[in-house]
Amino acid sequence: MTGFFRQHGTLVCDGVPLSRIARAEGTPLYVYSAATIVERYRAIDEAFASHPHTLHYALKANSTLAIARLFRGLGGNVDANSGGEIDVALRAGFIPPQIVFTGVGKTQAELAQAIELGVKSINAESDGELERIDALARARQTRARVALRVNPDIDARSHPHISTGLKTNKFGIALDRARDIARRFSRREGIEIVGLHAHVGSQITDLEPLTGAARALVALARELQDDGVRIEHLDLGGGLGISYDGSPVPSARDYADALLPAVRDSGLAIILEPGRNIVAPAGALLSEVVDVKEQPGGKLFVVLDAGMTELIRPMMYNAFHRIEPVETASTREVLVDVVGPLCESSDTLGKDRRMPRPEAGDLFAVLDAGAYGAVMASNYNRRPMPAEVLVENGTYSVIKRRQTIDDLVALES
């Protein structure tokens, strides 16, 4: 068994007891299972084996260097969303042809960096950005490889904050303008249009929007081929969700079964940019109970040493995460709100949870926190960023040390 499960009543990660890791490294602490990442990466890769494809792991989900290196070791590629993520990819050992560069507001400096490196594709967001890419590439006497990010006006049926494929969203080029724009820019000296891209949202558990976006890209690619534009690949983005609460969700196989029929006849290679689906279940946030307090006539609160600064998803997306005691207790169950230590009422990790009454000093694991967890941590209330460890082959290593207050103030004068 891989990942987080109970062994003799105690929660372990790939067989290593979480209590042992927390005792040695302190809390709050992110713990990742390398075996889960490997397993879930391979599940997607194998599901698409019958069609030419490359997996570009979305670094935005979790870009800690050791995690990025793990993907490189698996033969993966990356999707970078900023100059910083490109830099991390290079430090992790990826080469430019393994990087696609996405992002709604790429700066001149970031575009120049991507063009000079010669990344596999810059996923262009607008005609304005195409103009800038063309000018930057011509000034460097080169041609930038570009995919048009298309906005197909498709509802991902996910949380509004992570839906990106509607025309009311800021992302991409409207589908009905894309043909004209592609034709126009394909004649530019500084631009080689090599692909089409769509990413309609994240935590998608109904596959129809993904199939719809794939069909739209295939139809557009046909039109462009008729226009003499040579498309090499279709980038179908990421977005496949996971089950945070145990309810059934599509598997990697279901995902491939939904997408492949839409793209197979195009004869075009596909790129996928999975993030959450691979790393979310591979991570847990460990935290210690600081206090258990009852508001008379109100609620029972379990106050953790981790909160919205370590994991903002519950506050930002109203996201549900399972929160489990690391050691099972036989005391009676109570109804609690699990909250963080910050000066915000919205600093709540779980509302109305039934669990054995905890005590100060108990350890808790917030599960499925490997994606959009550590990467979204902040220093609000002057809280240092948590440490991160990776469990691999029956042992663990610290892959990011805990930040100190000295680290924090080092930037200030």
Ligand X SMILES: Cc1ncc(COP(=O)(O)O)c(C=O)c1O
Tokens representing residue 195 in the block: 């692909």
List the beta strands (DSSP E) in 222-264: 233-235
343 part of the active site = yes
* 61 binding ligand X? (CB under 6 A): yes
Phi and psi for 343 in degrees, rounded to 5?
-80, 60
Which position among 132, 276, 321, 383 is part of the footprint of ligand X (CB under 6 A)?
276
Which listed range, 39-47, 269-277, 287-295, 297-305, lies at the site for ligand X (CB under 6 A)?
Answer: 269-277
Are 70 and 34 in contact, with CB atoms under 8 Å apart? Answer: yes
- Residue number, 79 or 288, with CB nearest to ligand X: 79
Select from 61, 111, 96, 30 the least CA-distant residue to 239.
61
* 277 binding ligand X? (CB under 6 A): yes
* 79 binding ligand X? (CB under 6 A): yes
Minimum CB separation of residue 201 from ligand X in Å reads 7
DSSP string, 303-347: EES--TTT--HHHHH-----EEESB---SPEEEEEEE-SSS-TT-
* 370 binding ligand X? (CB under 6 A): no
- Residue number, 241 or 314, with CB nearest to ligand X: 241
Contacts with ligand X, 236-255, as mask; x by CB under 6 A: -xxxx---------------
Which listed range, 43-51, 131-139, 213-221, 234-242, lies at the site for ligand X (CB under 6 A)?
Answer: 234-242
SS (H, E, C) 134-148: HHHHHHCCCCEEEEE
What are the C-alpha distances in Å from 15 to residues 34, 35, 144? 12, 11, 47
Return d(Cα 155, Cα 167) in angstroms, integer. Answer: 9
What are the C-alpha distances in Å from 281 to residues 5, 35, 60, 72, 241? 11, 11, 16, 19, 11
Q: Which amino acid is at 267?
A: G
Q: Total binding residues for ligand X by CB under 6 A?
A: 17
Q: Which of 1, 49, 343, 410 is catalytic?
A: 343
Select from 284, 359, 293 the least CA-distant residue to 323.
284
Return d(Cα 333, Cα 274) in angstroms, integer. Answer: 38
Pairing of strands 283-294, 29-33: antiparallel
By CB under 6 A, the residues from 8 to 27 that bind ligand X are none
- Residue number, 280 or 336, with CB nearest to ligand X: 280
* 209 binding ligand X? (CB under 6 A): no
Minimum CB separation of residue 242 from ligand X in Å reads 9
Minimum CB separation of residue 156 from ligand X in Å reads 9
Minimum CB separation of residue 169 from ligand X in Å reads 11
Which listed range, 5-13, 217-225, 268-276, 396-404, lies at the site for ligand X (CB under 6 A)?
Answer: 268-276
Tokens representing residue 292 in the block: 């258990």
* 274 binding ligand X? (CB under 6 A): yes
- Residue number, 61 or 355, with CB nearest to ligand X: 61
What are the C-alpha distances in Å from 49 to residues 17, 79, 136, 273, 350? 36, 20, 37, 16, 39
By CB under 6 A, the residues from 87 to 106 that bind ligand X are 102
Minimum CB separation of residue 205 from ligand X in Å reads 11
Tokens representing residue 131 in the block: 């103009």
Return d(Cα 382, Cα 309) in angstroms, integer. Answer: 10
By CB under 6 A, the residues from 31 to 60 that bind ligand X are 58, 60
- Residue number, 188 or 199, with CB nearest to ligand X: 199
* 77 binding ligand X? (CB under 6 A): no
Minimum CB separation of residue 158 from ligand X in Å reads 9
Return d(Cα 21, Cα 4) in angstroms, integer. Answer: 13
Contact residues for ligand X, defined by CB under 6 A: 58, 60-61, 79, 102, 199, 202, 237-240, 273-277, 371
Residue numbers annotated as active site: 343
